[in-house]
Amino acid sequence: MKKTTIAVLGVGLIGGSIALSMRRDPEIRVVGYDVRQDRLDKALTSGVIHAGTTDLQTAVREAHIIFLAAPVEQIFSTLRMLDDLELQSDVIVTDVGSTKAEIVREALKVIPPHVTFIGGHPMAGSHKSGVEAASDRLLENAYYVLTPSAGTSEQQVNRLADILSLTRAKVVQMDPETHDQVVGAVSHFPHVLASALVNLVAGYDGDDGWHARLAAGGFRDITRIASSNPRMWRDVLLQNREPLLKIAKDWANALEEVMDLVKAGDADRIEQFFQTARDFRDGLPERKAGALPPLYDLYIDIPDHPGEIGRITTLLGARQINIINLQIRETREDIYGALRITFQSQSEMEKGEELLRYFDYNVYKRV
């Protein structure tokens, strides 16, 4: 049987995670394309892709499905290049960009007639970037929005949904404008808010640094996403202007309403405000509620001498502690836990943790 070839253009967090999911099927060959050779090298050595190239034509020539997984601005420029490339006759091109309306409009304008374009957006991610943060479980149980156009053949949509089942995400269909409105409210605007709040507090933080030091769980929980890639979010905001401007207006009104209650000292309605939010927040569907087991991961600092990883796996193996995955993470100085070990169960993880601590390793549950 002929293998299915998948091209992933942009082997970063999302492209890498999709590539890893695709590799669950041994009949799929994943070719990565990136403008950065060092990123392809990382993806190759960590087994994310079967082959990598910085030549776009080589990457797409044999592809049956092409994922555009670069930052949004580069998704536009790549779309415009497709017309000059030799492609398979029934190829599906899809993207993973965080905005949809403008991308789909552009694709319909520039895509060659024999090519099917289906907009896509997996609703999962991280504030971390790059292939080193990729995981075959990143999209598990997340919604994956597809935005086929009126003329898109149902058979092609099903073909794409079929391949996407390897990510274990829940594929849904939506029109691009609805997508941008909804995702503007639940993802884009929250990123603006998180960063605006951080900038406000940074401005308050005087020489004594008390704001930074007292910032505990609340501030950290609501601002994690302010650590996201600034270039990526610049592009997203520029592509989703109209919905965002409307949401910002609604936000300003909502904030004013609460502050009016504070001004009036209206205890009942202030409490009601928090209660209403809590009811909706507590009712959000639990992403981990699906059939798949949660992750049992430990992160371990690896001392910088040869044979350390071998020593750790030997220690675990000797006590029959089962691990299902091992990942060496980007070794930037400020990152703890360079080695990630995924265990089969909670009890295996606990046994592993006890053992590694006994042998004096620094072990973390989450980083």
Ligand X SMILES: O=C(O)C(=O)C[C@]1(C(=O)O)C=C[C@@H](O)C=C1
Where along the sequence are the contacts to ligand NAD (CB under 6 A)? Answer: 9-15, 33-36, 39, 69-72, 74-75, 77-78, 96-98, 121-122, 125-126, 129-130, 229, 232, 236
Q: Indicate whether 74 belongs to the interface with ligand X (CB under 6 A).
A: no
Give CA–CA dist 222/197, Å, rounded: 9
Site string for ligand X, 175-214 (x = CB under 6 A): ------------x---------------------------
Q: Which does 192 bind (CB under 5 to 8 A by kind): ligand X, ligand NAD, none?
A: none
| 106-114, 119-127, 211-219, 353-361 -> range binding ligand X (CB under 6 A) | 119-127
- Give the angle subtended at the CA of 75 by the CAs of 73 and 81, to the nearest 5°: 115
Smallest CA-to-CA distance from 125 within 183, 79, 172 is with 183
Min dist. Cβ of residue 72 to ligand NAD (A): 5
Q: Indicate whether 123 belongs to the interface with ligand X (CB under 6 A).
A: yes
Q: Between β-strands 363-364 and 116-122, what pairing exists: parallel, antiparallel or unpaired?
A: unpaired
Min dist. Cβ of residue 356 to ligand X (A): 28
Residue 195 vs 342, nearer CB to ligand X: 195
Min dist. Cβ of residue 98 to ligand X (A): 3
Residue 130 vs 190, nearer CB to ligand NAD: 130
Residue 327: strand pairing partners = 340
Q: Which does 225 bind (CB under 5 to 8 A by kind): ligand NAD, ligand X, none?
A: ligand X
Q: Binding ligand X by CB under 6 A: which of 52, 71, 125, 176?
A: 125
Q: Which does 337 bind (CB under 5 to 8 A by kind): ligand X, ligand NAD, none?
A: none
Residue 40 vs 124, nearer CB to ligand X: 124
CA-based R_g, the chain, Å = 23
Q: Indicate whether 119 belongs to the interface with ligand X (CB under 6 A).
A: no
Residue type, 251: W
Q: Which does 53 bind (CB under 5 to 8 A by kind): ligand X, ligand NAD, none?
A: none
Q: What are phi and psi of 342, to 5 degrees?
A: -100, 125
Q: Which does 36 bind (CB under 5 to 8 A by kind): ligand X, ligand NAD, none?
A: ligand NAD
Q: Indicate whether 126 belongs to the interface with ligand X (CB under 6 A).
A: yes
Q: Which two tokens stand for residue 346?
A: 């909670």
Q: Indicate whether 225 belongs to the interface with ligand X (CB under 6 A).
A: yes
Q: Which does 119 bind (CB under 5 to 8 A by kind): ligand X, ligand NAD, none?
A: none
The phi-psi region of residue 86 (left if phi > 0; otherwise alpha if psi is between -120 and 50; otherwise beta) is beta
Residue type, 189: F
- Binding residues for ligand X (CB under 6 A): 98, 123-127, 187, 225, 228
